[in-house]
Every structure is written in structure tokens, then in C-alpha cells.
A = this chain, B = another copy of it.
Amino acid sequence: MDQDPSEAPGYDAAVVDLLGVLAYGELTAFIRMAADCDVAPTLSLKSQMGQLATTDYLHYQQLSEHMVGRGIDPEAAMAPFVAPIAAFHERTRPRGWLEGLVKAYVGDGIAKDFYREMSAFVDEETQGVMQGALEDAGHADFVVQIVRDSIRTDRSTAGRLALWGRRLLGEALSQAQAVAVEREAMAALLVGGGVDLGEVGRMFTRLTDNHQRRMTRMGLDS
């Protein structure tokens, strides 16, 4: 982009939204993964799911502290996203441990892709804190192996999880669209920041491609 993103009208409001949705997403992911940790079938898996959950909470904390340092009230910034994120989780309640695992891996991947895309439109400082929250040190990789092992001997589970993955993507995109309509400043950051609608379309194509790659990695049709 040619112009300084932070000069655009409504930029500050857009950054508040972005940090808010990112922070609340991490806090909710923490809660959901801790619930998956509760139903994990072995102590080793509990330990690994707990690690994922804790990493999410620590990301939430970094984002929250960054907001406070920038004079942004984290709770006010997160509030608009409570309903759409709750709706996403309400509509995608995992039935059992494996669906929870796939949701953790796929949902986390979609969210991170989206934030990675959005971080191209923000100032360097915001970029830094967003990228910090995107790091996961590969803790989720164990999921791939578990899913692969589970479906090797059970093709009906493979079919069910493939459908599940499609539903997760559909619900995520549908909630993202609802948020975009509701939060004008954030949408304007994307479209107003010199991004044409064709580019937005390509962004969605990239998100979908990455989702398919993740499904393939788990051995699932997408």
C-alpha cells in the first residue's frame, strides 16, 4: 500500500475492533480448549490440550495489556464480538472429543489466517502485537496425527469429520460476514485502505485454500 494506513479515516476505531475481536477470540478459544482438555481421553492429551488453551490465554493477556497501554478499554473493545463469537460456538458444539480436536485445529487456523490477512493493513506496532498472538509454536500439530490415526481404521468417522470441517468453515465465514456488516470501520479498513472488492474475494479464496490444506493434512476430504 502506498499510504500510511493509520492516516485513513476511522483507522483508530478499526484497530480497536481488530484488537477486540482478536482478544475475545483468544479468550473464548482458551475456554473451549480447556473444555476439550476435560474430555480428552488420556493424561498426555489433557496435557497437550491444556498447553494449547494456556497459550491462547497468554495471547489474550498480551493483547489486553497492549490495549490498556494504548488507552483502549479491553472490555469495551471486546464487547461487540461477544454475540457473534458465542453464536459461532453455539452453532458448532463438538459432539465428542474428535470433533472438538478438529474444531480446535481448523477454527484456530481460519482465525489466524484472517488475522494474518488483516495485519497487512495496520501500523507496525499493532502488527507486532497481532503477530505475537499468532504464534503457536506448533503446539497444535499433535492434532493432525491423532485425527489421521483415528480415521485410518474408521472411514465413517472420516466422512463425518469431513462434513464437520465444511460446517466449521461455513459458520466461520457466515459470522465473519455478520461482523463485517456490523462493524463498518473494520470493513472499511479492508476495502477503504486501497483494497478493491476483487482483492477481498481473493482473500476469501486464500482462506478457503488454507482450510483445505489443513483438512488434507488431517487426511480429511474438504
Q: Report which A residues bind B (CB closer than 8 A).
A: 24, 27, 30-31, 34-35, 37-38, 42-44, 46-47, 50-51, 53-54, 57-58, 60-61, 64, 74-75, 78-79, 82
Residues on B with beta carbons closer than 8 Å to the beta carbon of A31: 34-35, 37-38, 46, 50
Complex: chain B residue closest to A49, CB-CB: B31
Name the contact of A43 in the complex, choosing from B38, B54, B61, B79 (C-beta under 8 A): B79
A164 CB to closest chain B CB, in angstroms? 22
**Interface of A, helix, strand, loop or mixed by DSSP:** helix
- The 9 tightest CB contacts between A and B, nearest first, are A34-B34, A54-B57, A43-B75, A31-B38, A50-B57, A54-B54, A31-B37, A31-B34, A43-B78
Known: A31-B37, A50-B60. 4 other contacts (CB 8 A): A27-B50, A31-B34, A31-B35, A43-B82
Q: Looking at the assembled complex, report how far the CB atom of A121 sits from the nearest CB atom of chain B, in whole angstroms.
A: 26
How many copies the complex holds: the figure is 2
Residues of chain B within 8 A of A47, CB atoms compared: 27, 60, 64, 74
- CB nearest neighbor in B for A31: B38
Q: Return the chain B residue nearest A44 by Cβ.
A: B75
- Cβ of A36 to closest chain B Cβ, rounded Å: 10
Q: Which of A31, A35, A60, A74 has the most CB of B within 10 A?
A: A31
Q: Which residue of B lies closest to A33 (CB)?
A: B34
| Cα-based distance from A110 to B34 in the complex (angstroms) | 23
Q: Are A30 and B43 in contact (CB under 8 A)?
A: no
Return chain B residues, CB-CB under 8 Å to A75.
42-44
A60, B44: Cα distance in complex, Å: 12
Give every chain B residue within 8 A of A34 (Cβ-Cβ): 30-31, 34-35, 37, 53
Minimum CB distance partner of A78 in chain B: B43
Which residues from B are CB-within-8-Å of A44? 75
CB-based contact A57/B53 at 8 Å: yes
- For the complex, give the distance between the alpha carbons of A51 and B43 in Å: 22
